[in-house]
Amino acid sequence: MSEFIDGFIEKAKEGNNRIENELYSKYDVKKGLRNEDGTGVLVGLTKIADVVGYKKINGKKIDCDGELYYRGINVSDIINRREPNQRFLFEETCFLILFGYLPNSEELENFKKELSNRYELPPYYLESKILGFPSKNLMNKLQQEVLMLYSYDSDPDNISALATMYKGLNLIAKIPSIVCYAYRTKVHYFDKESLFIHQIRPDLSIAENILYLLRDHKHFTPKEAEVLDMCLVLHADHGGGNNSTFTNVVISSTGTDIYSSFAGAIGSLKGPKHGGANLAVMKQMQLVIDEIGLNASDEQIKQVIDKILSKQFNDNSGLIYGIGHAVYTLSDPRCIILKQQCKDLAVEKGREAEYDFYHRFEQLATAEIKKRKNINVCANVDFYSGLIYDMLCIPTELYTLMFVVGRTVGWLAHNIENKLYSGRIIRPAAKYVGETYDYIPIDKRK
C-alpha cells in the first residue's frame, strides 16, 4: 500500500471529481441501466429467453408471479411435463435455446452425439495446461483455459455465425471436464489431497459426468444426477440483459473471437452480485446457523435478519444474499422448482432440518424486507442452489462454476443472435459533467 496513492484516491472522491447524485436525474442517466421504477433499460431485442417479473399497465409497473421462458416455452413446463423416463433435460434445453424449437428423438440423439464427440480435451492438454498450472481461484483458472483453447483452434478468429456455433458447442462440451480437472488439481497442490483423474465418459450426460469426474469412487444416485441436471437447465439462460450475457455480447460486438467473449462473461459471473451469489448465500447461512443453531425459534431468526439488514452481521453490507432479484418480485420460478428439488434431496440425504431452517429463514426475511421497505421481494435461484450443491457433495469452490456450465449455452445463443440481427458495436454514451480548464505547464503549477 502507498500513502501517496491512498491520499489521491481520497481526493478523487471530493471536489471537482465528485459526481453529485442529482446530476443523474438532471441528465436522465439510468444508474446501472435501470429506470426509476427499477425496471431495466431496454438495450436489445431477443427471441431466446423472456424473464417476466412484472407487467406494465398504463405505464405503471405491477408486480406479478415470476415466469421464465426459453424460446417461448415456460421453463416450469419443460421440467414438470417431461416424460417419466426422461431424467436429463439439459442437452434438450441446449438444443431448444440454440435452434429455437424442441427436437424430435432423432434430432436430440444426434445433438447429444455432437456434444459427446467434443467432450475430450486436446492431446496432452490436461497434463500441460491444467495439471501443470494449478490455481487457487477456479473462476480465474477457467478464464485462462477458455483463452488457452483459442491456441488449439485452427481458425480462432472466424466469427461467422456457423463457425461461432461450432466453437461454442466445443466450449459447452469441454468446460465441464475443465472445471472438474482444475478443481482436482487445485486440491492436490494446495490442499494436499490425493490426485485422481477419471476419463470423461461419452455415454453419460453432462450432469452425470460432473458427478462422475468429481468423486473418487465415481458413484452417484439417479436423484443426484437428476437434480444437478435440473440446476443446469434453470441456469441455461436468463434473457439478454443479465450481466454476463450482456458482457459477452458487448465484447463480441467488437468483432473479436468467442474465446475472448466467454472469458469476459466468466469474469462477470464471478462477482457476488451475479453468479457468485450462490456461494455468498451458503457462507451467510452457515454463519447464521453457527450463531443460533438449526432449532432456533422464529424470533431468533428475526433477530439475526434484523442484524444483517442493519449491517451488523455477516459481511456488514446490509444485504441478505439469496433474497431479492432485479426482475422477479413476487416469485422466482427457478427458485420454486429448486426449492422442491431441495426438499426431495434433503429427504434422501437425511437433512430435512437444514431445509426447514432455510424455508423459515426465507419466509421471515422476505416479510421483514417487505415491512421495512414496502416492496415485494422473493427468494431467488441462488437461495437454495448452494444447499443443493452441498447435498450433492459439490465443493464450494465449484458453486459458481456450475452456473458457468449451465449458462454457456445462453452466452452462445445470444452471441450468435446479435451477430445475425444487430451486428453493430455496442457503444452507449456517457455524459461529461466536469469542467474544462486550460493546460498549465509543469513549472507554473502550484
Cβ contacts of residue 197 below 8 Å, gap of 6+?
Answer: 126, 181, 184
Selected catalytic residue, list 325, 332, 390, 414: 325
Q: What is the number of other CB atoms lying within 10 angstroms of the CB of residue 102?
A: 15
Question: Residue 24 above 90 pLDDT?
Answer: no
214: which 3 cell numbers?
468429481
CA distances from 82 to 77, 79, 97, 112 (A): 8, 6, 17, 17
Mean pLDDT of 74-100: 91
Angle, CA 345 vertex, CA 342 and CA 347 arms, to 5°: 110
Architecture of domain 104-273+399-421: Orthogonal Bundle (1.10)
Task: Please confirm, yes or no, whether 274 is among the known catalytic residues.
Answer: no
State the DSSP H helix or E strand holding residue 55, giving kind and residue range, or none if neither: strand 49-57
Selected catalytic residue, list 229, 237, 257, 382: 382
Q: What is the per-residue pLDDT for 76? A: 95
State the DSSP H helix or E strand holding residue 354, giving kind and residue range, or none if neither: helix 352-373
**CATH number of the 277-391 domain:** 1.10.230.10
Per residue in 225-234, pLDDT tens? Answer: 999 999 999 9
Question: Residue 9 above 80 pLDDT?
Answer: no
* Contact indicator for 109, 88 with CB cutoff of 8 Å: no
Question: Residue 398 above 70 pLDDT?
Answer: yes
Tell me whether domains 104-273+399-421 and 277-391 share a fold.
Answer: no
- Residues for the chain: how many in total? 446
> Rounded distance, CA 187 to CA 191, Å?
5
Q: What is the mean pLDDT of the chain?
A: 93
Q: What is the per-residue pLDDT for 27? A: 86
Would you give the distance in Å from CA 172 to the centre of its chain?
15
Of 80-94, 293-307, 328-342, the least confident: 80-94
Question: Residue 98 above 70 pLDDT?
Answer: yes
Question: Residue 370 above 90 pLDDT?
Answer: yes
Cβ contacts of residue 210 below 8 Å, gap of 6+?
Answer: 176, 179, 180, 228, 394, 402, 405
- Domain ranges, ordered by start, for the chain: 104-273+399-421, 277-391
274/150: higher pLDDT? 150
Q: What is the per-residue pLDDT for 366? A: 96
Mean pLDDT of 45-57: 92
With a pLDDT cut of 70, the percent of the chain lying above it is 96
Question: Residue 239 above 80 pLDDT?
Answer: yes
Q: What is the per-residue pLDDT for 326? A: 85
Task: Tell me whether residue 399 is exposed, middle or buried, using C-beta atoms within 10 angstroms of its C-beta: 0 to 12, 13 to 18, 19 or more.
Answer: buried
Which pLDDT band, with edges at 50, 70 and 90, does 21 fall under? confident
Q: What is the per-residue pLDDT for 42? A: 80
Task: Tell me whether residue 26 is exposed, middle or buried, using C-beta atoms within 10 angstroms of its C-beta: 0 to 12, 13 to 18, 19 or more.
Answer: exposed
Q: What is the per-residue pLDDT for 83? A: 79
Task: Please confirm, yes or no, whether 382 is among the known catalytic residues.
Answer: yes
Q: What is the per-residue pLDDT for 356? A: 97
29: which 3 cell numbers?
442517466
Question: Residue 436 above 90 pLDDT?
Answer: no
Question: Residue 12 above 80 pLDDT?
Answer: no
Q: What is the per-residue pLDDT for 5? A: 66
**Running DSSP on this structure, what letter comes out for residue 236?**
S
Is the CA virtual torsion 210, 213, 216, 217 positive or negative?
positive
> Rounded distance, CA 107 to CA 4, Å?
63
Per residue in 119-128, pLDDT tens? Answer: 999 999 999 9
**Running DSSP on this structure, what letter comes out for residue 127?**
I
Per residue in 158-201, pLDDT tens? Answer: 999 999 999 999 999 999 999 999 999 999 999 999 999 999 99
With a pLDDT cut of 90, the percent of the chain lying above it is 80
Mean pLDDT of 71-98: 92
Provide the b/e sequence for 293-327 (b: ≥16 CB within 10 Å). Answer: eeebeeeebbebbeebbeeebbeeeebbbbbbbbb
Per residue in 315-348, pLDDT tens? Answer: 999 999 999 998 999 999 999 999 999 999 999 9
Beta-sheet strand order (sheet of 60-70): 49-57, 60-70, 73-74
Give the 3-state DSSP-derived string for 380-442, with helices as H, strands as E and coil as C: CHHHHHHHHHHHCCCCHHHHHHHHHHHHHHHHHHHHHHHHHHCCCCCCCCCCCCCCCCCCCCH
Question: Residue 350 above 90 pLDDT?
Answer: yes
Residue 434's nearest CA partner among 20, 63, 8, 87 is: 20
Question: Residue 152 above 70 pLDDT?
Answer: yes
Which pLDDT band, with edges at 50, 70 and 90, does 6 fall under? low
